[in-house]
Copies of this chain bind each other. A is one copy, B any other.
């Protein structure tokens, strides 16, 4: 124990050989999705990788059942044709439902992304309409990649609200009204012909995605803070997603920041979510601006609109204070800001960090990094796909 400083976790750091190999494999898979079965020489040309690298990675993928290798001839010479495999259980799908969009991804067990796509949704859409669209989009992706439905080992789904793990239902008061009482797992399994569906909330899935696809693979304690129309955190503790007794964890949006403040949908008042979510920011701006959407808010902030920046800063101070309290409790290595405002970078990170530093225990402050997510709005769907393999792993254990 003595003298130990930041022992590296089991995962490799971004610059490592493993990470490089993963990126190269990702490029090979993208090429195969784009043009279908290819020779190794074709893949080398398309990716710019050496034939030795291609051969090495492709052999490894074949051993793991991800591609088939078939002898063929090309330009009269012996060659090997590489084709994406779709044997049973090869691929997981992830579906992420946002407030105005829906994203579907296909992922291999080694977390290589096979394909991904998102579509816009109308405000306050009926989740059941969303499920239909998700099924169709998933079907499109499978067709485009030549992967059969049978190849799906499961489908992970993320929704913007907490899930009570005891009955696997959205928790009233943490989710938009349209999602209350919707049995997401049953509805989706019905539409997917019984393919097993696993469900979690968006912030939890974001935290999982950050440890796999973000540059934080070496971290064992990570907080993913999603600021959107609600505010919530996903927790990776001791290297594992943390779900507590109920599955309802990381609910920083329901920490009170203003005594007797705005009424919150959870039943309390002055919650962080009621005072500092994007919804609250837009409410506050409605008196003095014509801004009504998140996109307009982000654009105005980027353009330097002082009223918008002030409202964002005020919210950021409240967020930073609550995240400081959370860090005094959990002492994570890193806090990753996700959601649409992450794109604003320092405009929001700086006031969060200042308030954080003012409230957290000084020793923890110096040991905690606060950064913006680099996954844009992809974290939820990616994390959902990863969840499929995690659940399988848990079942095997």
Q: Mark A residues whose CB is within 8 Å of B.
A: 1-6, 162, 164-168, 171, 173-174, 185, 198, 220-221, 233, 235, 237-238, 240, 242-252, 254-256, 266-268, 321, 325-326, 328-333, 358-364, 367-368, 391
Q: When A166-B6, A238-B238, A328-B252 are in contact, do A362 and B247 touch as well, CB less than 8 Å?
A: no
Q: When A3-B167, A329-B233, A329-B326 are in contact, do A248 and B363 touch as well, CB less than 8 Å?
A: yes
Q: Looking across the interface, which residue of chain B has its beta carbon closest to that of A267?
A: B362
Q: Within the oligomer, what is the number of copies of this chain?
A: 2
Whether the pair A245, B173 counts as a contact (CB closer than 8 A) is no
Whether the pair B364, A246 counts as a contact (CB closer than 8 A) is yes
Whether the pair A244, B266 counts as a contact (CB closer than 8 A) is no
Contacts of A333 in B (CB 8 A): 245
Q: When A198-B1, A221-B245, A364-B248 are in contact, do A268 and B329 touch as well, CB less than 8 Å?
A: no
Contacts of A243 in B (CB 8 A): 331
Q: A167 CA to B198 CA in the complex, in Å? A: 42
Whether the pair A328, B255 counts as a contact (CB closer than 8 A) is yes
Contacts of A362 in B (CB 8 A): 173, 266-267
Q: A359 CA to B235 CA in the complex, in Å? A: 21
Contacts of A240 in B (CB 8 A): 238
Whether the pair A246, B329 counts as a contact (CB closer than 8 A) is no
Whether the pair B244, A332 counts as a contact (CB closer than 8 A) is yes
Whether the pair A359, B328 counts as a contact (CB closer than 8 A) is no
Q: When A244-B221, A268-B358, A331-B244 are in contact, do A164 and B363 touch as well, CB less than 8 Å?
A: yes
Contacts of A360 in B (CB 8 A): 254
Contacts of A2 in B (CB 8 A): 167-168, 185
Q: When A167-B2, A331-B245 are in contact, do A255 and B185 touch as well, CB less than 8 Å?
A: no
Contacts of A326 in B (CB 8 A): 329
Could you write out 14 A-B pairs with CB less than 8 Å apart?
A2-B167, A5-B167, A164-B363, A171-B361, A237-B242, A238-B240, A246-B367, A248-B328, A249-B329, A251-B364, A256-B359, A266-B361, A267-B362, A329-B330
Q: A242 CA to B359 CA in the complex, in Å? A: 21
Q: When A173-B361, A363-B173 are in contact, do A328 and B251 touch as well, CB less than 8 Å?
A: yes
Whether the pair A331, B248 counts as a contact (CB closer than 8 A) is yes
**Additional 17 contacts, C-beta under 8 A, given A250-B329, A256-B321, A326-B329:** A1-B198, A2-B167, A6-B245, A164-B363, A171-B363, A173-B363, A237-B244, A244-B330, A248-B364, A249-B329, A251-B328, A251-B361, A252-B328, A252-B329, A266-B361, A268-B358, A325-B325
Contacts of A246 in B (CB 8 A): 331, 363-364, 367
Contacts of A174 in B (CB 8 A): 361, 363
Q: Looking across the interface, which residue of chain B has its beta carbon closest to that of A270?
A: B359
Q: Looking across the interface, which residue of chain B has its beta carbon closest to that of A219?
A: B245
Q: What's the least CB distance linking A299 to chain B, in Å?
A: 33
Q: Looking across the interface, which residue of chain B has its beta carbon closest to that of A169?
A: B2
Contacts of A247 in B (CB 8 A): 331
Q: What's the least CB distance linking A88 to chain B, in Å?
A: 22
Q: Looking across the interface, which residue of chain B has its beta carbon closest to that of A185?
A: B2
Q: A267 CA to B221 CA in the complex, in Å? A: 25
Whether the pair A251, B167 counts as a contact (CB closer than 8 A) is no
Which of A243, A254, A361 has the most chain B CB within a 10 Å cutoff?
A361
Q: A332 CA to B267 CA in the complex, in Å? A: 21
Q: A255 CA to B364 CA in the complex, in Å? A: 13
Q: A242 CA to B221 CA in the complex, in Å? A: 10
Q: A221 CA to B359 CA in the complex, in Å? A: 26
Contacts of A321 in B (CB 8 A): 256
